[in-house]
Amino acid sequence: MRSDRGVRSVQLGVHDVMADQGSIVVKIGGSTLGEGDSTIDDVVELWSRGMRPVVVHGGGKTISEWVSRQGVRSQFVRGLRVTDSATLEVAVAVLTGLVNSNLVAEITRAGGPAVSVSGVSEGMF
């Protein structure tokens, strides 16, 4: 785990993880991933130490790019996107078809197990 993130290993308990400690939720923001980032490797490391990371992700920047490409105008109120039906359609396509599948592929390439679960495909949304 990278120490330069400002997150102490004590907070995460990464160095003392035991196999019976169960699941941990890891939220990955769309702007987190990039060249030189170790988030995916950190997730795989958690797995190798006995944890079962459940990764949830954002994708606001990618959604904004695709909404713009589709000619849909985004509206924001106090920094939060107002999601109308046109924006929702693009957001679902981007999050489930692009962001989620790319994240699963990256985790798999790094040696970790990963499957895609979507609130849309599982009837939760």
Position 14 confidence tier, pLDDT thresholds 50, 70, 90? very low
Other C-beta atoms closer than 10 Å to the C-beta of 118 total 14
Of 77 and 29, more confident: 77
The answer to whether the beta carbons of residues 82 and 76 sit under 8 Å apart is yes
pTM score: 0.73
**pLDDT of 11 over the 60 cut:** no
**pLDDT of 18 over the 50 cut:** no
For residue 120, what pLDDT is reported?
77
For residue 65, what pLDDT is reported?
92
Map out the domains of the chain with their CATH numbers.
3-109 (3.40.1160.10)
The answer to whether the beta carbons of residues 49 and 17 sit under 8 Å apart is yes
100-114 as b/e: b if 16+ CB within 10 A: beebbebbeebebeb
> What's the N-to-C CA distance of the chain in angstroms?
33
